[in-house]
Chains A and B, each alone.
Chain A
Amino acid sequence: MVESKEYDVLVIGGGIAGEEAALNLANIGYKVILVEKDLSIGGKMIHLSKVFPTLDCGACITTPKVSETARHPNIEIFTFSEVQDIEKHAENDFSATLIENPRYVTDDCTGCQICEEKCPVVVEDQYQWNLVGRKAVYVPFSIANPRIAVIDIENCSLCGLCEKVCPANAIDFSQVEKKSTIKIRSIIIATGFELFDPLLIPRYGYGKFKNVVTSMQMERQLVPTRPFNNVLRPMDGKMPDNIAYVLCAGSRDETVGNPICSQVCCMYSVKQAQLLMGALPMADVTIYYINIRAFGKGFCEFFQQAKGMGIEFIKGKAGLIKEKENGNLIILYEDIQQGNVKEAEHDLVVLSVGMLPNTDFTEIFKNSRVEQDLYNYVNKVDELCCPAKTNIDGVFVAGTSTGPLDIPDSILSAGAASAEAAGYLNGGVK
């Protein structure tokens, strides 16, 4: 029988919260297994441009943390992997099934991308939020960790070219899914959030009108590794000069099942608007908002700074978006201050999509169930005294798995989770 590998802590999810929690625990000597579903660790943050309110470069902050996590001798990372059937047998005694999906590329890959050049298949690049194509064999993105290729087998034409040209002999179509059992003493759930799908609000025309984009697509347009050669309209490559932001797209909206505020959209929109003023100095930027929620340190000043730069703020709720033949968009909105309905034309509309719970955690436990709160995030059963505690002793929660949070708050939450997990491992906090 194969021996199951043992660790002190299982961290599920390798976003900023999972990395922080794993590092804290690894630094005090615990053996950590970090399981990430995606091809790279880094979560959403690794794809962001700059961060509010300091406008520091997102990648410059996150990549050192990503590499520290990847290199730490006490952390073993499994990307493109999942855990299932977690069982609690006693305190400090959990087991789980680890599932490693095949990449069809071995660790010998140097990330040279020669295979990518030769591969004949082009499909939408999910790491550029579908604004541009990628190949069926691809290195996920330039700062991915691990920076090795993967074959999207569903879209592979089985031409064999990648295997023929790979100088490192790293292509291996014989790989299969691997399952093993692991034993752990404690667990941190850091599976993060999902982005609201704007197709659920058909009156905004997302998917139908190519110049209606999401804030995540705009984040990608604002990074140096952007999908286009500048910030451009996806329909026709025009440089936009009159951009609108529609805030609360899918947040604070009972009709789409998400009544709460996503906490980050106001500030990331104010951030993007400022970055756009830098990237496109001639452009007008208008933000349609219900309320601006600038509650953190320096946030109000950041908002005032945006106003000072000439960004227009209209207290208005966008009702309908229509498309003109030239791709421009007409927004019909309720002017909340004046109490009437108005129209405005823009050449690009950004929907500031909100955060939704990622409910994966409800399906990965076998003999117990992690409680959800009213909004389907992980329930914090003792929020005031032990903010990372869940209903299962020994299972803690970090980051946006607990609810909408920005990066600093996700890091704080991960700090709490690692401290509480360390306490539990030492026979203290349950």
Chain B
Amino acid sequence: MKKTIDIMKEKRKVPQGVKDKIKAFNKLKKKILDSLKEGEKTIPEIAKEMDDDIDAITYNLMTLLKYGFLEAGDIDDNDEYYYYRLKNKE
């Protein structure tokens, strides 16, 4: 059966910007998930291990939280930063 996606492929090319967005998200996703494999961390703790901007880490971490890759734990002792950990996706 012909999938309708082929009709769109005949009409449009994928813009480079979209390819770049996929790459950027996947890169940060991997870094964040790898970092959290070691255990739960706050955003500044994750940021310390990477050279990416902290706001990009926050944005992507929150997106991973939204899509169920992560869950939020307790807040730290200073009541400032939440801990985030990997969620078992079943």
Contacts and interface: CB of A to CB of B under 8 A. Distances in A.
Interface of A: 104, 116-117, 120-123, 131-133, 136, 153-158, 160, 163-164, 171-174, 210, 227-230, 232, 234-239, 241, 282
Contacts of B30: none
Nearest to A162: B5
A132 B21 contact: no
A121 to B, nearest CB: 6
A240 to B, nearest CB: 9
A238 B80 CA distance: 5
B61 interface: yes
Which secondary structure dominates chain B's binding surface?
A: helix
B81 A121 contact: no
Nearest to B66: A132
Contact of B66 (A133, A173, A235, A238): A133
B36 interface: no
A221 to B, nearest CB: 11
Given A132-B63, A174-B4, A239 B81 contact: yes
Given A123-B21, A282-B79, A132 B4 contact: no
Which secondary structure dominates chain A's binding surface?
A: loop
6 contacts: A120-B26, A122-B60, A158-B8, A229-B72, A236-B55, A239-B81
A158 B61 contact: no
Contact of B79 (A122, A156, A235, A239): A239
Contact of B14 (A158, A164, A236, A241): A158
A133 B4 contact: no
A227 B62 contact: yes
Most chain B CB within 10 A, of A122, A154, A171, A210, is at: A122
Contacts of B44: 236
Most chain B CB within 10 A, of A133, A153, A157, is at: A133
A227 B18 contact: no
Given A158-B12, A230-B82, A234-B55, A121 B21 contact: yes
